Amino acid sequence: MSKKKKILVTGVTGYVGGRLVPELLKKEYEVRVLTRDAERLDGRKWINEVEVVEGDVLKPETLPGVLENIDVAYYLIHSMSGKSNDDFHKRDMQAARNFRESAEQFGVKRIIYLGGLGNQSDNLSEHLASRQKTGEVLRESDIGVTEFRAAIVVGSGSKSFEMIRYLTERVPIMISPKWVYSKVQPIAIRNVLQYLVLAIEKPETKNKIIEIGGSSVITYADMMKMYAEIKGLKRILIPVPILSPALSSHWVHWMTPVPASLARPLIEGLKNDVLVQNDKARNLFPEVNPISYKKAVELALARIDTDEVETTWNDALISSKGDERPVILETKEGLNIERRIRKVEVDQEKIFDVFTSLGGEKGWLTFNWAWKLRGILDRLVGGVGFRRGRRHPQNLRIGDALDFWRVEAIKPGEVLRLRAEMKVPGRAWLEFQAINDEKSNQTKLVQTAYFAPKGLMGLLYWYALYPIHSLIFSSMIDHIAAEAEDKG
């Protein structure tokens, strides 16, 4: 049996890269992942099955050794910017050039790159043109490069899907600018992953540009209408002759989790029809059966409904844009997320013992009056209130009531997840994790509040209470850490 190839995956904190890794592991490839900050991979299910290396494609001095002994490298790095004075294009080119030169130095045989679909003769947006220029830079060597070009990727947590979902669910009557009626060929994330993985064992794909898309050719308006149909919503689209990408991106900014800076390049890329122009993908990958947009949406919603939070567009530190740190307040896969992390000088078990003892007669360590007040308000509107306490002062099991929470998941020594049963315009969870940090011999205490808003009222509820939640949850994680250290 031939030796399995050693694979490098870049952009691993991003939407596609994070989902590609487990697919490669299923095929028993030896996988190395490149990241600027290894800590950002903590909690990934596959973290102990891969080799993690730190480096930055914009800093070539950090790349020696990253590509050593690698057979195939995935280049899944690109910038997103809607600012006219931004030099993201130059960064993209420099990043690709640094990566290609390092790959040449260490004898990498293949580079597989995921770029953007679009006809160069159609006056492409700056972002799409940069994606394609990146492919050209990677090909400026003797390394065999396979470049896939895709339009909109549809999956739970993808940027395009989140835009469609939030706009459709929150806005019953939508003003529809010209770009909404351009034709596009969206592709499901599962099909993208199939192409990327299969290309490894297909030498005939070397030095080829392969356009990939799903089985549906539709407009953005059709995508919103179809989403509304699947969700049982009635939506009205009113065409307008003009609405600039700048104005459209600000509308998206306020109505969805996607900021204007990321929405604008996506919208600008929709000014032209973006369709697969040939049968190359079908001929080279006959085993791939691209699914329809409707099926892709149904699969994405199924993942959200079962709370399978995996990778999202917002996971990445926009790859070649510097060293910004991730913010605490995030939105991904329809969930508003408030996460805090503390490093504690005790073992996992002691931290686990503290957060599994919360509630009931002990209370929540801080602002107990606020928790009780919230329970009173809940009872006034017919909710369960704060009166249920807990079954046992220390031990918890799945299904236990815990004040106005319900134990949804528990992993001894590591994880506790609570589902809210108070009256809220949406669904809410509170999760605690104790993660062993082998590098520092400390334990990471991770406290995360999740909220899936229902409509506009849910969104207003989240942002109205965020200052209060921020104060309470910041204090709570500090008190949990302090009590664990006292016991240690």
Residue 340 maps to a domain = yes
pLDDT attached to residue 471: 86
Kindly report the average pLDDT of the chain as a whole number: 83
CATH value at residue 38: 3.40.50.720
Question: Are 236 and 338 within one domain?
Answer: no
Q: Count up the domains in the chain and report the number.
A: 2
Among 315, 343, 365, residue at a domain's last position: 315
Among 286, 315, 344, residue at a domain's last position: 315
Question: Are 81 and 194 within one domain?
Answer: yes
Question: Are 310 and 338 within one domain?
Answer: no
Q: What is the average pLDDT across 140-159?
A: 88
Q: Which residue has the higher pLDDT, 118 or 59?
A: 59
pLDDT attached to residue 309: 42
Burial of 297 (0-12, 13-18, 19+ CB in 10 A): buried
Least confidently predicted of 4-8, 92-96, 115-119, 416-420: 115-119
- CA-CA-CA-CA torsion for 131, 134, 136, 138, nearest 10 degrees? -140
Residue 87 sits at φ, ψ, to 5 deg, of: -100, 35
Q: What is the average pLDDT across 63-71?
A: 91
Length of the chain: 488
| Residue 327 DSSP code | P
Say if residues 80 and 91 touch (Cβ distance below 8 Å): no
Residue 411 has pLDDT above 80, yes or no: yes
pLDDT attached to residue 416: 93
Question: Are 359 and 299 within one domain?
Answer: no
Can you spell out the DSSP letters for 122-146? G---HHHHHHHHHHHHHTSSSSEEE
Instruction: Give the model's confidence band at 334: pLDDT under 50 very low, under 70 low, under 90 confident, else very high.
Output: low
User: Which stretches within 171-315 are classed as H helix?
Assistant: 189-198, 220-231, 245-255, 260-268, 280-284, 293-305
pLDDT attached to residue 30: 95
Question: Are 379 and 445 within one domain?
Answer: yes
Among 271, 288, 315, residue at a domain's last position: 315
Q: What is the pTM of this model?
A: 0.67
pLDDT attached to residue 372: 87
Residue 320 has pLDDT above 60, yes or no: no
Range of the domain at 70: 6-315
Question: Are 280 and 366 within one domain?
Answer: no
pLDDT tens sequence across 194-236:
999 999 999 999 999 999 999 999 998 899 899 999 888 888 8
Instruction: Give the model's confidence band at 150: pLDDT under 50 very low, under 70 low, under 90 confident, else very high.
Output: very high
Burial of 183 (0-12, 13-18, 19+ CB in 10 A): middle
Least confidently predicted of 141-150, 353-362, 399-408: 399-408
pLDDT attached to residue 361: 83
pLDDT attached to residue 418: 92
Residue 202 maps to a domain = yes
pLDDT attached to residue 387: 66
pLDDT attached to residue 279: 92
% of the chain beyond a pLDDT of 70: 86
Residue 457 sits at φ, ψ, to 5 deg, of: -65, -40
Q: What is d(CA 286, CA 280) in angstroms, rounded to the nearest whole number?
A: 10
Q: What is the average pLDDT across 174-189?
A: 85
Residue 117 has pLDDT above 80, yes or no: yes
CATH value at residue 459: 3.30.530.20
pLDDT attached to residue 252: 73
Question: Are 351 and 306 within one domain?
Answer: no
Cα 5 off chain centre by:
27
Tell which residue, 174, 291, 298, has the closest CA to residue 231. Answer: 298
Question: Are 186 and 59 within one domain?
Answer: yes
pLDDT attached to residue 253: 67
Say if residues 7 and 73 touch (Cβ distance below 8 Å): yes
Say if residues 329 and 338 touch (Cβ distance below 8 Å): yes
Residue 315 has pLDDT above 80, yes or no: no
Say if residues 75 and 99 touch (Cβ distance below 8 Å): yes
With tokens 């009557």, the residue in question is 173
Q: What is the average pLDDT across 365-386?
A: 84
pLDDT attached to residue 310: 52
Least confidently predicted of 176-185, 237-246, 299-308: 299-308
% of the chain beyond a pLDDT of 90: 35
pLDDT attached to residue 442: 83
Residue 328 maps to a domain = no
Instruction: Give the model's confidence band at 250: pLDDT under 50 very low, under 70 low, under 90 confident, else very high.
Output: confident
Residues in contact with 394: Cβ distance below 8 Å, sequence separation at least 6, in sequence order: 353, 356, 357
Q: Which residue has the higher pLDDT, 439 or 223?
A: 223
Instruction: Give the model's confidence band at 323: pLDDT under 50 very low, under 70 low, under 90 confident, else very high.
Output: very low
Question: Are 184 and 81 within one domain?
Answer: yes
